[in-house]
Structure 1
Amino acid sequence: MAAADTIHPGRKWTDWEARLRNAPASAPALFSGSDLDGLPEPVRRYLTRAIAPDTRLTRCVHLRMRGSIKLRRWLPFRARQILSPHDGFIWAARVAGVIAGSDRYLDGDGGMDWKLAGLVTLVHQDGPDVSRSAAGRGGAEAVWLPTTLLPRFGVRWSAQDDTHITASYQLGDTPIVICYTLDPDGYITSFVFDRWGDPDSTGLWAWHPFGGEITAQRTFGGLTIPGSGRLGWHFGTDRWPSGEFFRYQVTQLQPTPDR
């Protein structure tokens, strides 16, 4: 993973991390059954599977992952991420050994910066559309830190039936409404939400279905998360085969210690 560690070796990564760490501190509490009071049974089943008893209710986590990303063709990547689902994220990666950069959502602003061999700019995007899209991504990635999906953090839950549940909250100015499909044991098998974007590169931004299939669960400490999956645009439609662009496996997860 050394390659990913050199993506932002200096001040930029350190400054971004500090901005996320300066978000509200973790609640000085441990997970218990009372956190599930009043929730529909399918939601309780999911959260009970995802969070072990007495797990600290942290709001920020460090992850490492690997997989493949579709940039015209499928290319391998390795990445690290700082994720605080109610505040933002930084995702820094190295793709095919020669493309490096980051996606981020910090203080209400989203951005993407990617270079070839550290010299040639491939992507530099920011602005309101990118920010709204990045906020949606950050909200969807809360499944990698399920403690942040508890009602005490402002998340509203509903259940459509025994295997379909919905989480809703606000990240900045962006509404987050994510629908999960569960297996009989309460593990997430797929999810979908409306994400702001321009997946066809037409210059016209709008809400489009985004989501994917979870292919494996992984447990890190007291957290069981969707550890592997296939993600992309147009999930749940006939355009999903062409919309898929991201296949991942989380290899490390470490909640950030309380400040």
Structure 2
Amino acid sequence: MNWFTGILLFGVVVVLVVAGLGLLGARRWAKATQVIHARLEALRRPARPGVYDPRDIEGLPAPVQRHFRAVLTPGQPMVTALTLEHTGQFNMSPGGEQWKPFTSHQRVVVQRPGFLWDARIAMLPGLPVRVHDSYADGRGLLHAAVLGLFPVADLEGGGELARGELMRFFAEAAWYPTALLPSQGVQWTAVDEHSANATLTDGALALTLLFRFDDAGMVRSVLAQARGRMVGQEIKMAPWEGTWSNHQRIDGMTVPLTGEVAWLLPEGRKTYWRGTVTSLAYEWST
């Protein structure tokens, strides 16, 4: 056997090993995904009332009223759950630019608030990082593993982790705008003609985000003054913002199909997620 044949055989063995590990990781990941989905469904509650009545928004700040009039249809059933798929890019570098393509599947339950973002980030051909980012039953979860087997992040619990995940659920409510209605538990306070603060409570957690609207009433951005950011093995607080665009009419509601998410750091804006919704399916109260 010459050196070339030896290298070729070694390469074949490596490919087969990686492929086998990938299949094993995919099976284990699917089981973990099913467990989280079951938690979300076990906590699911019906929406009350069952439909949107424009009288419900009387007395809200002017930009918030304009928003609901623009994005909802009178008599619109309340969203109780939805399933989304995304494509986009994720910046894997904490301090630089290392953008990698991702695809993801997301399940959201509106009452009680919860979601699971199940993503596959292509680090190298045949070497994906799988990610679970979730909020359920007042607890947050962040689990990332190469091939779904070798963890690079594994966090679960309450505190700032849970608070940060509930912030994500709240900021993404532009995809399920009936969840922002006062009848669904959200409290609004005026800021100016294009923005208002919204407060959401889930169990022991309560948080307030700043929603900014454009002239047409669409959500332009959502800002948290402080959200927990992983820096090494520590969680440090920093302002956090999601921006929305490409609003389209779907099933009687107007929702954004593209977005970006960024940390607002002293050294400047640090965008780390850019995505587009490729599939969106709603479940309704009626």
Q: What is the TM-score with the length of structure 1 in the denominator?
A: 0.86
Write out per-residue CA displacement over residues 54-96 of structure 1, whole angstroms, 9 at most, x where no aligned residue. Answer: 2211232111111111002101111111113452111101111
2:57 and 2:28 map into 1 onto residues whose CA distance is 39
CA contact (8 A) 1:195 1:210 kept: yes
The structure in which a higher percent of residues are helix is 2
1:56 and 1:17 map into 2 onto residues whose CA distance is 23
CA contact (8 A) 1:7 1:101 kept: no
Structure 1 counterpart of 2:76: 55
2:262 corresponds, among 206, 229, 232, to: 232
1:74 paired with 2:105, answer no
Structure 1 counterpart of 2:251: 221
CA drift at 1:170: 1.1
CA contact (8 A) 1:58 1:148 kept: yes
Give the direction of change, closer, same or farther, for the CA distance of 1:8–1:162 in structure 2 (3 Å limit): farther
CA contact (8 A) 1:89 1:106 kept: yes
* Residue type at the aligned position of 2:151: T
CA drift at 1:149: 0.6
Write out per-residue CA displacement over residues 189-215 of structure 1, whole angstroms, 9 at most, x where no aligned residue. Answer: 222113431344372533x21113223
CA drift at 1:239: 3.8
Aligned-pair Cα RMSD in Å: 2.4
Structure 2 counterpart of 1:34: 55
CA drift at 1:100: 1.3
Structure 2 counterpart of 1:3: none
CA contact (8 A) 1:133 1:195 kept: no
3-state SS of the aligned residue for 1:122?
Answer: strand
3-state SS of the aligned residue for 2:148?
Answer: coil
1:13 paired with 2:48, answer no
Give the direction of change, closer, same or farther, for the CA distance of 1:7–1:40 in structure 2 (3 Å limit): farther
2:67 corresponds, among 33, 36, 46, to: 46
1:89 and 1:7 map into 2 onto residues whose CA distance is 21
Write out per-residue CA displacement over residues 136-186 of structure 1, whole angstroms, 9 at most, x where no aligned residue. Answer: 222222221110111011111122221112211213333221112211111
1:115 corresponds, among 145, 162, 170, to: 145
Runs of 5+ unmatched residues, structure 1: 1-5
Structure with higher Rg: it is 2
Structure 2 counterpart of 1:95: 121
CA contact (8 A) 2:82 2:280 kept: yes
Give the direction of change, closer, same or farther, for the CA distance of 1:117–1:220 in structure 2 (3 Å limit): same
Report how many aligned residue pairs link the two structures: 250
1:94 and 1:79 map into 2 onto residues whose CA distance is 6
CA drift at 1:246: 0.6
3-state SS of the aligned residue for 1:59?
Answer: strand
* Residue type at the aligned position of 1:220: I
2:27 and 2:191 map into 1 onto residues whose CA distance is 43
Runs of 5+ unmatched residues, structure 2: 1-25
Give the direction of change, closer, same or farther, for the CA distance of 1:7–1:64 in structure 2 (3 Å limit): farther
Moved more, 90-99 or 23-32: 23-32
* Residue type at the aligned position of 2:150: V
1:165 and 1:149 map into 2 onto residues whose CA distance is 12
CA drift at 1:238: 5.2
CA contact (8 A) 2:77 2:284 kept: no
* Residue type at the aligned position of 1:80: H
1:132 corresponds, among 144, 160, 163, to: 163
* Residue type at the aligned position of 1:184: D
* Residue type at the aligned position of 1:77: F
Give the direction of change, closer, same or farther, for the CA distance of 1:64–1:7 in structure 2 (3 Å limit): farther
CA contact (8 A) 2:174 2:219 kept: no
2:136 corresponds, among 98, 106, 109, to: 106
Give the direction of change, closer, same or farther, for the CA distance of 1:230–1:164 in structure 2 (3 Å limit): same
1:202 and 1:21 map into 2 onto residues whose CA distance is 31
Give the direction of change, closer, same or farther, for the CA distance of 1:214–1:87 in structure 2 (3 Å limit): closer
1:205 paired with 2:236, answer yes
* Residue type at the aligned position of 2:138: G
Q: What is the TM-score with the length of structure 2 in the denominator?
A: 0.79
CA drift at 1:228: 0.9
2:284 and 2:245 map into 1 onto residues whose CA distance is 29
